[in-house]
Amino acid sequence: MNKLELEELMLRISSGRDEMAFSTLFDFLAPKINAYFIQNGLLPDNSEELTQEVLSTVWAKSHQYDASKAAVSTWVYTIARNKKVDFLRKNSKIDFKEEDIREFLYDNNETDKINEGEVKDQVARINKELDKDQQKMIKMNFFENKSHKKISEELEIPLGTVKSRIRHILIKMQRII
């Protein structure tokens, strides 16, 4: 499913409360969100529970999604990431709702000034500049939150090489940004 199709589904969900559209979105996203939580080290029971929370939020807050501000994929990713952080911090004694704080980035006035086209250009340039292996490493490090050590084990390359390659990628990205 491409980004445009996802956007059309979101529109049907938010303005029409269209359950069929939601069911299509669910079938596409649920296994991917579930995979994200498992990649981040959660047990299958917990990952399905959090997947339910993410997609419940998508349904309940669909009217807050604004296509001019972010792609559906970005919006859903941030919801999933926030659920992951809250889950991992469940036992922490910090008594204040961080999710409220993280949501500000989406509603923030400052972000309005950011040209969405500019962000898209940057993402396209980064994807063009980084080869498949480098993109994979970014995914493992930042999306799956794997430690450098874990990446080195999985890709069977020395830890020092992983560290220097990631550093190299970040410097490369910095030049583009």
Partner 1 sequence: MNGILVKNQLVFDFASGSLGPSKSLLASTYLYLNSSASKLNLTFENILGDNLIENKDVPIKTLKYSDCISDNSHEKISAQKNLNPITKLVGPLNKINWKQIYKGFSEFDPKFQDDDDLKLIKMDPGASVPLHSHGGKEYILVLSGSFCDEFGTYQKGDIQINDQKIKHTPIASNDEGCICLTITEKDVIFFGRYGSFLNLFTFIKSFFK
- In the chain, % helix, strand, coil (3-state, to 5) comes to 80, 0, 20
Q: Which of 43, 66, 99, 114 binds partner 1 (CB under 8 A)?
A: 114
In this structure, what token pair is assigned to residue 90?
A: 């469940």
Give the dihedral sign, CA 66/68/73/78: negative
Q: Closest separation between CB of residue 156 and partner 1, Å?
A: 20
The correct pick among 16, 120, 131, 160 for binding partner 1 (CB under 8 A) is 120
Asked if 108 interacts with partner 1 (CB under 8 A), we say yes
CB of 167 to partner 1, least distance (A): 8
- Between 92 and 156, name the residue whose CB sits nearer to partner 1: 92
Subset of residues 27 to 56 that bind partner 1, contact rule: CB under 8 A: 27-36, 38-39, 44, 47-48, 51-52, 55-56
Residue whose CB is less far from partner 1, 118 or 156: 118
Q: What does each C-alpha distance from 158 to 30, 151, 152 come to in angstroms? A: 35, 9, 6
Chain Cα centroid distance, residue 6: 15
